Amino acid sequence: MGNTMLQDIVTSEKTAFLAHCRKVRGLSNNSVCAYEQDIAAFLAFIRQGDQKHALNGQLVLDYLDHLKRERNHKHATIRRRLVTLRAFATWLRKAGRVGEDPFAGLEIDLRPPNRLPRPVEWVDVRTMLKADGGTLSTASSGMPAFSSELHPLSRTTGLAIKLMVSTGVRVGELTQIKLSNISNDGYRIRIHGKGSKERNVYIGNLDLRTELQHIKWQASRIEHDGDYPASQQPSTTPDKRSGGGFEFLHKPAILIPRVTPHRFRHSAATFLIEEGVDIRFVQRLLGHASIATTEIYTRVSDTALMRAINNADTLGKMLSEFT
């Protein structure tokens, strides 16, 4: 199979494969977009240079080496690129466009390294929310109202952080929240998660519930498209595909390095477990299919362990018998 022929096959079958992922497999828009990016990366690889490529095991190994050495991708990105390529290769075989399974006989370890999640520390979350300055006041109508001096971007960012820290929603799930997903009392939010799975998350903080109530009340008075609450401009909504960063986190005054939205999800799980919430409830809140995924948060912080040891103080209790 020549280089040009493989390019033509990938290009011609890409659209049908992505449509299959969306309509038949029921993957979310974010997942389909990720698949599209992965196929584009593979297509760019086979287009480079004059070397002729065939979709076989050697090409997979060459591509793996390219991702590691030339692109210097992280393990998670490499794993996703190869998982997508394997799914696409299976699709091509079933469509009769390639004859062999390029992954047959290959021993590629795609398991992620055992790295602990890195939550944003409690004090750093407080610093960021303080810098955001989002406060509620009471309007003459008796309903809570935001300060008129508060910029919409700052308001949206602060609300996003509060929601992620308190519920552990993924940033991709956050951007899909619509006003109709929020209960009238602001206590429950319906989340559309990975693989089109739905779950409810609950708001334990009274101030945040009041804030969500206000957003629904405010939207009922004006025309609203039902998108992410408090986002008056589409560009102010954090987007997973654009890197998932919040603008104000990059201001020099906020000296907190490498804070990404997903770390707030780690924070939510860690804080809840440290406060003694049953791990099964945390699993359900985060939408983990397996409790083994949630268990990793029990090893993240020593705070709960230190508190338990201090409260127990077994040595002190033993020695007190002699005094």
Q: What end-to-end distance do the CA atoms of the chain give, in Å?
A: 86
Angle CA 66–118–252, to nearest 5: 90
Q: What is the DSSP letter of 197?
A: -
Separation CA 79–CA 86 (nearest Å): 11
Is 202 an active-site residue? no
Residue identified by tokens 């799980």 is 269
**CB 201, CB 169: distance < 8 Å:** yes
Among 81, 162, 214, 288, the active-site one is 288
SS3 assignment, position 137: strand
Is 194 an active-site residue? yes
Single-letter code of the amino acid located at 184: N
Among 155, 162, 265, 266, the active-site one is 265
Among 194, 216, 224, 284, the active-site one is 194
Among 14, 170, 209, 263, the active-site one is 170
CA 62 to chain centre: 30
**Closest of 269, 254, 286 to residue 125, by C-alpha:** 254
Among 71, 118, 190, 262, the active-site one is 262
CA-to-CA separations, 63 to 71, 74, 82, in angstroms, rounded: 10, 14, 9
Is 263 an active-site residue? no
| Cβ count near 288 (within 10 Å) | 19
**Closest of 113, 157, 112, 106 to residue 131, by C-alpha:** 157
- The region that residue 120 occupies, defined by phi over 0 for left and psi between -120 and 50 for alpha, beta otherwise, is beta
Among 35, 63, 228, 297, the active-site one is 297
Please give the structure tokens belonging to residue 2. 């020549």
Is 297 an active-site residue? yes
Separation CA 179–CA 18 (nearest Å): 29
**Closest of 164, 187, 176 to residue 272, by C-alpha:** 164
Is 265 an active-site residue? yes
**CB 81, CB 42: distance < 8 Å:** yes
Is 262 an active-site residue? yes
Kindly list the catalytic residues.
170, 194, 262, 265, 288, 297
